[in-house]
A and B are shown apart, each in its own frame.
Chain A
Amino acid sequence: MDFVPENALVIMEGVTKNYDGVVALDNVDFTVSPGEAVCLVGENGSGKSTLIKILAGVEQATSGRITIGGKVYDTLSPRLSAAAGVMVIFQDFSLFPNLSVAENIAFSTQLGKNRRLFNKKHVYEIARKTLDRVGVDIDLGTIVETLPVAHKQLVAICRALASNARLIIMDEPTTALTEREVSILLDIIRRLKKDGVAVIFVSHKLAEVLEVSEKVVILRNGKKVAQGPASTFDAASLTRNMTGRDVAEASPRPIDPSAPVLLHVKDLHKEGAFENINFDLHEGEVLGVSGLLGSGRTPLAKALFGLVVPEKGMIKLGDKSIVLGDPLTAAAAGIGYVPEDRLTEGLFLTQSIVRNVSIGRLDNHQNAGLLNMKSLFRESGDWLKRLKVKTPDIGSPVTSLSGGNQQRVVLSRWLSRAPKVLILNGPSVGVDVGSKSEIHDIIHELALSGIGIIVISDDLPELLATCQRILVMKSGVITDEVSGKNITEDELARRMAS
């Protein structure tokens, strides 16, 4: 048992959670004091979301003791947690897109007071007060749907505060924010802490929130593996603790200066997303595009594949100009795109593995209007084997695979189309560490075979491990170009943020 401060707001002692025999959380101790900010860190499957769910009352712990505000709870329910002042802000914010800012903030308080009648003035008053407390100004009558993401997050924070939150749990709070928005958020967090509100950040990327946090707690495989003052951690020690090992990464092969230019991008411009983008990609080169969220890296990636329509500029593959804003011609010309969000953009979840792989090749296996199932299965199976996807049956649903293998399914889909250029947006997001380095190996191999690869990512170790050159984007412009081997992670981070 750790040292527990006297005034602790939440004390979790020896909390364990089993799901059908699988231990998701193993005898974890965890405390939060009023006004304290804690970073809860871990990879996917480390147990951090289970811990949060138990605290929010969504899941019940198998064993262990939870004390909130001095009161011991045998079991928590969402209602009890909320009444004790524990509020979770999910990544999707759980707002009502069709209602006004004021109503979103005050709805739960209205419910809590069991008010039958809806008093607009009263609701606006509550909302106004809460916004003042946070120190931001958003028009109360605006429909939430039309707000930018950062404002939606603020509305979610205000809603938690309006229902007397004493502990706010934020799930990946910075992923969707731009630099400036992050700094505004951090100011607000500081204010809340002064007010005595405690905050837990749940994340796997913490560089940004470390500076307002007092404590870091790291989970791995359901166990607490490290804990300490935030000042004693840096990115490297976080990663080491999260993964439990130093993953040996192959470093990228030196650039072959004689390799011909494969992709030529000239003066690409899209209002409000990116401007004046110029670069060349050589055969066999792995080019990184990095930048914080909102820097324009994802719109640029999508524009290269035609999913975003640039207003002007030119993309040439070899000596052929590619029609802007049309994924079909981009794909036909030999550009492939592995999207960022595998579950919603990449996969057809209820469909089989083989269908997920072969979707881009169906027309090629059709003879006289008839699909040749045998060749279709053979080709997909071959690709899956080459990418080392382990599955007993490629006819089973793609949901039966792990995150890393699912990513390889999407990769196989594009590889089977023999692309010349492959754009990988966040190639290892939500993939466990082992698979991650294997995916990096695959990237090296593909580059060796002559494919030009663009890796879009804000995962700096990943960029440094895979890319020969890295373009740094800020506010839609390429501000820097660095060669992968003579730059350190810290230096790259500095260039991205400055």
Chain B
Amino acid sequence: MNNLSPKNNMFSSPEARLAVIAIVVFITMAALSPERFLSPQNMTSMAFQFPEFAILALAMTITMLTGGIDLSVVGISNLSAVIGATILTQFAGPDIAGIEMAMWIGIAIAISISVGMLAGLFNGIIIAIFGLPPILATLGSGLVFTGLAVALTGGSAVLGLPSGVAWLGNETVFGVPVPVILFAILALGLSFLLARTSFGLKIQMYGTNPLAAQFAALDVNRLLMKVYMVSGVYSAIAGMVIMSRANSAKADYGSSYLLLAVLIAVLGGINPYGGYGRIIGVVLAVLSMQFLSSGLNMLQVSNFSRELIWGMLLIFVMIVNTQKGFKLNLGKTPQTKSGK
């Protein structure tokens, strides 16, 4: 085993506990309402629902690994979607088809992702070069990005996209929904990045001890800029999925996803103070959330109770994590428990 990270006891790791939670939730829901929860329709509808916020959670995750946070993910995804959609409506229109449509969609996606990358670069610069705390930097820049999207559209939805846009969010390939494939690629990509590339290892090292990273001559500024650029690109991709599923783009789509993304990342065992976290944890957190909310839907429980249960799950998991084993990973917590 060439595992570079410190060894964790299998059962004390947050991921193992999460896996148990995900399975328990799945089994409970399946038992409570087998014919509906396990139905193919439910499976597909779940599969189409989660990728958009799950991708945002991945964007959040990479910044949290450095001990930062990206509160601008939703802003970036809407801004890039609005720009992409505007290009499509201005130059292509709803009636376009064939090669020309594919070309314009390709151009729009390329530009949208570049927008995400630039927005992330902007975050990286104000954090790395100007030294703003990430939480404030991205709170401010998130408002700017959202604001630009509002200013561009006057606050209304951009409608009239070419028919091909719908493919990304609504079609399946060999029976697997396209957004799920996309999410899988992005999650695997990030996981690979963290475990098997120099960049990924540096992210974790920086998150563990930023000062030591500086003394070890890591290029900290470039590292942070790259991290926030990756976050920006992932956010932009989430924006494409949202645009495709809504068949439109708007400045305030998915505004509830911001806190959800933070919640999933933390639930997934990402140490909010940086340095520790595994993508598998985030994936398990996403699945738990989705099983839970779909299951509750089946059981005719109101939509709003999802929020309630998410919150309870988050705090429950945090209590379990802090009470055992996780303390080591929270080495930099300003609030240590103890004290008399």
Q: Show the binding face of A for B, using Cβ within 8 Å.
A: 78, 307, 327-328, 330-332, 337, 339, 344-352, 354-355, 359-360, 362-363, 365-366, 369-371, 373-374, 377, 393, 395-397, 413
Given A355-B205, A373-B2, A373-B4, the answer on whether A328 and B275 have CB atoms closer than 8 Å is no
Q: Which of B2, B7, B213, B331 contacts A349 (CB 8 A)?
A: B331
Contact residues in A for B4 (Cβ distance below 8 Å): 352, 354-355, 373, 395
Point out the residues of chain A lying under 8 angstroms from B205, CB to CB.
348, 351, 355, 359
A345 touches B211 (CB 8 A): yes
- State the interface size on chain B (CB cutoff 8 A): 31
* With contact pairs A346-B212, A349-B208, A359-B205 given, residues A327 and B6 touching in the complex (Cβ less than 8 Å): no
Q: Is the Cβ of A352 less than 8 Å from the Cβ of B215?
A: no
Residues from chain B with a CB closer than 8 A to the CB of A327 are 214-215, 217
B3 CB–A CB distance under 8 Å? yes
Are the C-beta atoms of B217 and A331 separated by less than 8 Å?
yes
B216 at the interface (CB under 8 A from A): yes
Is B198 a contact of A363 with CB atoms below 8 Å? yes
Residue contact B198 to A345, C-beta cutoff 8 Å: no
Chain B residues lying within 8 Å of A373, measured Cβ to Cβ, are 2, 4, 196
A136–B340 Cα gap in the complex (Å)? 34
Q: Which of B1-24 contact A (CB under 8 A)?
A: 1-7
10 closest pairs, A vs B, by CB? A331-B217, A362-B198, A373-B2, A397-B6, A348-B208, A327-B217, A366-B198, A345-B215, A348-B209, A339-B215
Q: Do A351 and B217 touch across chains, with their CB atoms under 8 A apart?
A: no
Q: Which residues of A contact B228 (CB under 8 A)?
A: none
Report Cα–Cα, A346/B209, bound state, in Å. 9
A369 to B201, CA, bound (A): 12
- Contact partners of A346 in chain B: CB under 8 A: 212, 215
Task: Please report the C-alpha to C-alpha distance between residue A87 and residue B71 in the assembled complex, in whole angstroms.
Answer: 45
The chain A residue sitting closest to B200, CB to CB, is A371
The residue that B6 contacts in the complex, of A78, A371, A374, A395, with Cβ under 8 A, is A395
Whole-angstrom CA separation of A197 from B55 in the bound complex: 64
CA distance A331 to B220 in the complex (A): 14
Contact A377 B2, beta carbon cutoff 8 Å? yes
Can you identify 14 A-B contacts, CB atoms within 8 angstroms? A332-B217, A344-B209, A344-B211, A345-B212, A346-B212, A348-B212, A350-B275, A352-B5, A359-B216, A360-B216, A362-B198, A369-B197, A373-B2, A393-B7
A393–B5 alpha-carbon span in the complex (Å): 12
Closest A-chain residue to B275, C-beta based? A350
Q: Which residues of A contact B331 (CB under 8 A)?
A: 349-350
B212, B214, B329: which contacts A307 (Cβ < 8 A)? B214
**Most B C-beta atoms less than 10 A away, residue of A332, A349, A393, A413:** A349
SS class of chain B's interface: helix, strand, loop or mixed? Answer: loop
CB <8 Å contact, A362 and B201: yes
In the assembled complex, the Cα of A354 lies from the Cα of B3 at a distance in Å of 10
What chain B residues lie within 8 Å of A396 (beta carbons)?
6-7
Q: Are A370 and B216 in contact (CB under 8 A)?
A: no
Contact assessment for A351 and B2 in the assembled complex, using a CB-CB cutoff below 8 Å: no
**Is the CB–CB distance between B197 and A413 below 8 Å?**
no
Q: How far is the CB of B156 from chain A (nearest CB, A)?
A: 43
Q: Which of B6, B196, B201, B328 has the most CB of A within 10 A?
A: B6
Residue interface bits B205-237, CB-to-A below 8 A is 1, else 0: 100110111111111000000000000000000
Contact B217 A349 (CB under 8 A): no
A328 to B214, CA, bound (A): 9
Q: A366 contacts which of B1, B197, B204, B218 (Cβ < 8 Å)?
A: B197
**Chain A residues, Cβ within 8 Å of B208:** 348-351
Within 8 A of A (CB), among B231-276: 275-276
Mark interface residues in B157-170 (1 if CB within 8 Å of A CB, else 0): 00000000000000
Other-chain contact of B201, A349, A371, A395 (Cβ < 8 Å): A371
User: When the two chains form their complex, are residues B212 and A347 in contact, meaning their CB atoms are under 8 A apart?
Assistant: yes
Q: A328-B217, A351-B275 are known contacts. Are A395 and B197 too (CB-CB below 8 A)?
A: no
Q: How far is the CA of A351 from the CA of B216 in the complex (A)?
A: 14
| Distance A369 CA – B209 CA, assembled complex (angstroms) | 24
B6 nearest CB neighbor, chain A only: A397
B219 interface neighbour in A328, A351, A374, A395, Cβ under 8 Å: A328
